[in-house]
């Protein structure tokens, strides 16, 4: 619906996240956490089936609620419909919270409070152990998170909304939340979360690459290079274990001219310099510009 995506992004940038008690993503997380707590499977196949059923139940409930909301919105007066639809879409998008968390890491680094920067990074942005990270490692991890979560938190749900309306946007949000909570390669969740991880991989194939393209187009807003962004994305996107995360992260590394490293896992744009705190702000400017461009495209295409 024309105007709804713009209203949703404006609401996010101005207001941020809704309270946890009414946030749909929080509800999704509670459903998934309850399913994980109740699991009883003892074999890989049983765990796979059990995890798939938890995910399917969450997707079904999400779709039913979103379809009901969509039907109510279709009955609203015409002039009010874009605003109401945008308000309903807003909780599926998240950019302001991402930028705020990254900025908090930047400020802690600028004040040479490396311990605080590590804690903020671990609390808001990454799941890895941050205790041994240097200042450059912390800055790089924050930049990676900005790039990856631009795709997961904004571009992907926007594309889903454009294709399938509110229900598609919220189904995507359930799939991505399930992957974030269950999609780990450890003995506890390897099979229980496998369906969530694989379906999320498929759901993000197009959004991740679209996000990389948007970052390339908007690199100049962060005093970066579109040409380097394209070159790094094409050369290094396949270096990560995820089939998708490498695309926006490599594009951002090239745009900023920095080397993003997760030790023992990957090195993106290896010819770049080590990232510093100021590069986090540059990545946020690129992300905001990419979000604005994405909304404009969703509205007109």
pLDDT of residue 75: 87
pLDDT of residue 264: 87
Mean pLDDT of 18-37: 95
Mean pLDDT of 221-238: 97
Dump pLDDT digits (tens) for 48-66: 999 999 999 999 999 999 9
* CB 201 within 8 Å of CB 243: yes
Packed helices 277-300 and 135-150: angle between N→C axes, nearest 10 degrees: 0
Dihedral sign for Cα 177, 242, 95, 155, please: negative
Question: To which H or E segment does residue 260 belong?
Answer: strand 260-262
pLDDT of residue 188: 84
The whole-angstrom separation of Cα 104 and Cα 284 is 12
Dump pLDDT digits (tens) for 76-95: 888 888 999 999 999 999 99
**291 pLDDT more than 90:** yes
**What are the domain boundaries of the chain?**
4-300
**182 pLDDT more than 80:** yes
pLDDT of residue 1: 60
**71 pLDDT more than 70:** yes
Dump pLDDT digits (tens) for 122-144: 999 998 889 989 999 999 999 99
Packed helices 96-110 and 4-15: angle between N→C axes, nearest 10 degrees: 30
Phi and psi at residue 283, to the nearest 5°: -65, -35
Per-position b or e across 55-75, b if 16+ CB within 10 A of its CB: beebbeebbeebeebbeebee
The whole-angstrom separation of Cα 299 and Cα 301 is 6
pLDDT of residue 204: 97
Q: How does the average pLDDT of the chain come out, rounded?
A: 95
Which residues, other chains included, contact 155 with Cβ-Cβ below 8 Å and sequence gap of 6+? 207, 210, 211, 214, 290, 291, 294
The whole-angstrom separation of Cα 34 and Cα 57 is 12
Portion of the chain with pLDDT greater than 70, in percent:
100
Dump pLDDT digits (tens) for 251-286: 999 999 999 999 889 999 999 999 999 999 999 999
């Amino acid at each position: 619906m024309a105007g709804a995506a713009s209203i949703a992004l404006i609401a996010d940038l101005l207001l941020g996240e809704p309270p946890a008690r009414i946030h749909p993503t929080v509800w999704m997380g509670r459903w998934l956490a309850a399913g994980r707590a109740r699991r009883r499977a003892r074999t890989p196949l049983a765990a796979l089936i059990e995890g798939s059923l938890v995910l399917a139940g969450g997707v079904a409930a999400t779709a039913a609620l979103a379809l009901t909301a969509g039907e109510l919105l279709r009955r609203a007066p015409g002039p009010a419909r874009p605003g109401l639809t945008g308000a309903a879409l807003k909780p599926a998008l998240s950019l302001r919270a991402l930028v705020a968390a990254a900025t908090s890491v930047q400020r802690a680094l600028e004040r040479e409070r490396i311990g605080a920067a590590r804690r903020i990074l671990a609390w808001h942005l990454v799941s890895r152990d941050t205790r041994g990270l240097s200042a450059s490692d912390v800055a790089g991890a924050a930049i990676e998170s900005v790039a990856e979560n631009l795709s997961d938190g904004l571009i992907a749900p926007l594309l889903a909304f454009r294709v399938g309306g509110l229900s598609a946007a919220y189904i995507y949000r359930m799939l991505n939340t399930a992957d974030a909570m269950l999609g780990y390669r450890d003995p506890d969740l390897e099979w229980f979360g496998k369906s969530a991880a694989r379906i999320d991989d498929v759901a993000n194939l197009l959004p991740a690459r679209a996000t990389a393209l948007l970052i390339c187009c908007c690199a100049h807003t962060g005093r970066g290079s579109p040409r380097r962004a394209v070159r790094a994305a094409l050369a290094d996107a396949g270096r990560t274990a995820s089939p998708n995360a490498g695309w926006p992260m490599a594009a951002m590394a090239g745009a900023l001219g920095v080397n993003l490293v997760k030790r023992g896992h990957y090195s993106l744009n290896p010819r770049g310099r080590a990232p510093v705190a100021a590069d986090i702000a540059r990545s946020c400017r690129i992300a905001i510009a990419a979000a604005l461009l994405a909304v404009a495209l969703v509205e007109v295409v």
